[in-house]
Structure 1
Amino acid sequence: MKIGIIGAGNIGATLARKFSAVGHQVSLANSRGPESIREIAREANATAVALADVVKGADVVVVSIPEKAIPQLPKDLFAKLPKHVVVIDTGNYYPMRDEPVAAIESGMPESQWVTEQLGHPVVKAFNSILAHSLATKGQPAGSPGRIALPVAGDETDAKKIVIGLVDDAGFEGVDTGTLGESWRQQPGTPAYCTDIVGSVALMDALARAVKDKAPGLRDLAFQQWMQLGSTMTNDDILRINRALHD
């Protein structure tokens, strides 16, 4: 497939490497222009392109930027995108990092807000795994201990495509329902960045999520991460996230 990725940060660049490695044609773009990510794209065996070009001819578009950057995307970027093109939202909302968003603060699931901003349906995926885990913990299908990742959206065919890409990346993709239920994989929930093994355990974690408590737990985790500062490791983040729900 032809995959365009908006955002060349830890998640976007890692997905570019993963998808290129299994034969997908990947283009990579950011807000600063192709020259700023030329080396990242080369290392990922992807093509650095202008933001306006990353969606052209794409079968799948991955939006992997902070929530605060979503409204800054060109307003016409997705306007002419055919309906069959799958758009994946990997983002997460952190009000202490992003600009506060009233709709999300009032309870709208983050990816529903992203859908409104883009004017195109999205599938929420790859938001609930840390970049280090994404880069290093993928395993072939059928492997014991394979991490499961939630895939939420309103269009069944689109979710099937994304589940296939999750598998390409080395993880078990699990259809976890509609975009309206995607708050269950947002920060502050048991399924968020805890490296859950297997679909049964993942569905249990999603069922244990408490919507009203998630924002407070998200903020508590963020504060604990900041206290660790530059010494923080992937294992530290996993430990803190898991402890929120013990």
Structure 2
Amino acid sequence: MLNNNLLAIANPALSSDLAGMTNTAFMRFLLQGLIKLGFIAGALIFLFMFIYGGIRLASSGGDKSAVASAKSILANAVVGAVILFSLFAIVNLSFDPNPPGPTARTSPTPTFDPNPPGPTAPPTPTFDPNPPGPVVCIMPSSLSGTPVCNGTSSDIRWSWGAVSGTTQYQLQTDREGNFNPADRTLNMPSIPFPNPPTTITSTNHAFNVDVYGRVRVIQSTVCNFDSAWRYPGSPIRTLSCP
């Protein structure tokens, strides 16, 4: 109880503003007051020196040493005053009369959404009445073969009708005609694209024999299943080459 009463005693010589200051604020106030008092005293001293130097200069009577001494006093007074007022300005700028205090920590105010988002419904599946399926390629419109001799090689030059969108053809030849298996299988190169060649020569056949042939589409940009085979009307009879 006694300690609380002692703490409650206020100095009547201090104003209510000073009595309510914290220790740090009071020390700042006291330090600022002392600095201002020092600046005032310094200003008075330099003013006195300036007046004194002026009196010495006026009463020198042309004496060179007296004139030089008076001018030195005046110069020192002016330089000292400039330095004093510069320091005064710097100190005033460095002292903040309202230093920032500790800021209170605030927590974000929770917001209430009257219509919170609920679970989203899964997308409705779509039904395609005509789903994409396998597309069979169109077979070549015709196939013909011409027997030729290339030196001692009995060859057959095959040709067929082009199919739009085709990138590669396949030709097979067979002596029996059942193609099980075929004697030869020739895949046409897919270059130049998109119009690969529609002719090919099968070489080194036996002399004077019947050779069956067939051709189909195996690669295309407009279909994804090989076409049916195209057969010639009759087998091709090879030549007897010397």
**Fold-level similarity (TM above 0.5):** no
The structure that is helix-richer by fraction is 1
The structure that is strand-richer by fraction is 2
Instruction: From the CA coordinates, give the structure whose radius of gyration is larger.
Output: 2
Compute the TM-score of the two structures, normalised by the length of structure 1: 0.20
Compute the TM-score of the two structures, normalised by the length of structure 2: 0.21
Structure of greater relative contact order (alpha carbons < 8 Å, 6+ residues apart): 2
